[in-house]
Amino acid sequence: MPKRLRENYQERPNKRSKKQLYSKDDINIDPEMAKYKRQERIKERKRKGEDNKPNQIVQQGLKRRCLNIAQKHAYLSLPYGMIYFPPEYIQYLKESYKQRSYCGKPDYKCKYCNAIFWYDERNKYDSKRGNGEILYSNCCKYGKIRIPKYREPPQFLKTLLKQNEDKTSKHFLQKIRQYNSMFAFTSMGGNIDKTINQGEGPYVFRVNGQIHHHIGSLLPEPNKIPKFAELYIFDTKNEIENRLRALTKEELDRHDLNPAIIKGLQEMLDQHNPLVKIFRHARDLFEEHKGIDISIRILGANKGDPIQYEMPYS
């Protein structure tokens, strides 16, 4: 061992258990050579950093663009409402992942029902036998299944569903679940397991047993606020306030829903929804004939109907 290293070990006998100060190569190499190697390693690290700098600049630009998109379209992160992905965000996803598989645009249609597909969704076996014709069968089974044509919604709802910069439409899309719940006839019933969400992680909805719907009487119990189907019959002169109170369960001035939208949805349902018309007719009978007993029976599928009672499948 060189004399200088021997003296260092003798001066520091209690530090041998710590991290080794010298590598095996440095012990047998001249100090000047060891210093030169360390400088070369530092230069190599700097060179690698400069080589990666252009990629880092690109990634930072994409990140800033993503943050700007998130601020411009903040409603995308909300846990409710309709989800709309702007073209800028889609382009960002394409640019941010080089290895992301991209299937192109869905430019193919089923010749029977005009359903839109990607090329890779074709029926490969039948397409090979179709003399070059691209065939799709996942939609209507070659015309065997016929679905009624899409019906245009009422004009008031169609205006609210437009994804534009209109403040009323944007507010409705953000609060669409609340507005939908406000006009529900029934409540969901089931054995909901709430203990699963006590820890960290994303919210999980777990239900056991059979799922059903609760529908109460046509009139609320004494000293109880009306809710669900009762709102279509009881105290309809104050229907908007009653719906807000049943939904928010708090002071009316603390909600953030638009009464004008509620009024428009109420008039739309009165005009177009057949079930609402039945309940409104029951209201008129209550007001015309005080104290009479009225019942509403909704007839669905007959017992044993294969569509309603068939076993679930995936």
Q: Position of tokens 């070059």?
A: 132
Q: Strands (DSSP E) along 32-169, which ranges?
A: 108-109, 116-117
> Per-residue pLDDT for 18 more than 80?
no
> What's the average model confidence in pLDDT over 26-47?
77
Q: What confidence tier does 16 reach under pLDDT thresholds 50, 70, 90?
A: very low
Q: Position of tokens 């209109």?
A: 166
> What's the average model confidence in pLDDT over 124-150?
86
Q: What is the pLDDT of residue 214?
A: 80
Q: What is the pLDDT of residue 255?
A: 67
For the chain, the average pLDDT equals 76
Q: What confidence tier does 55 reach under pLDDT thresholds 50, 70, 90?
A: low
Q: How far is CA 2 from the centre of its chain?
A: 70
* Distance of alpha carbon 92 from alpha carbon 69, whole angstroms: 9
* Distance of alpha carbon 159 from alpha carbon 177, whole angstroms: 17
Residue 212, strand partner residues: 189
* Distance of alpha carbon 306 from alpha carbon 314, whole angstroms: 17
Q: At 208, which helix (H) or strand (E)?
A: strand 206-214
Q: What confidence tier does 272 reach under pLDDT thresholds 50, 70, 90?
A: very high
Q: What is the pLDDT of residue 260?
A: 92
Q: What is the pLDDT of residue 81?
A: 45
Output the CA–CA distances (angstroms, integers) from residue 211 to 188, 189, 190, 207, in the order listed.
Answer: 7, 6, 5, 8
The residues, ordered by sequence, that sit 6+ positions from 253 with a Cβ below 8 Å of its Cβ are none
Euclidean distance between the first and the last CA atom of the chain, given in angstroms as a whole number? 76
Please classify residue 219 by burial: count the beta carbons closer than 10 Å to its beta carbon, then call 0-12 exposed, 13-18 middle and 19+ buried.
middle
* Distance of alpha carbon 225 from alpha carbon 150, whole angstroms: 38
pTM of the predicted protein model? 0.52
Give the residue extent of every domain in the chain: 103-150, 155-309
Phi, psi of 87 (to 5 degrees): -60, -35
Q: What is the pLDDT of residue 218?
A: 82
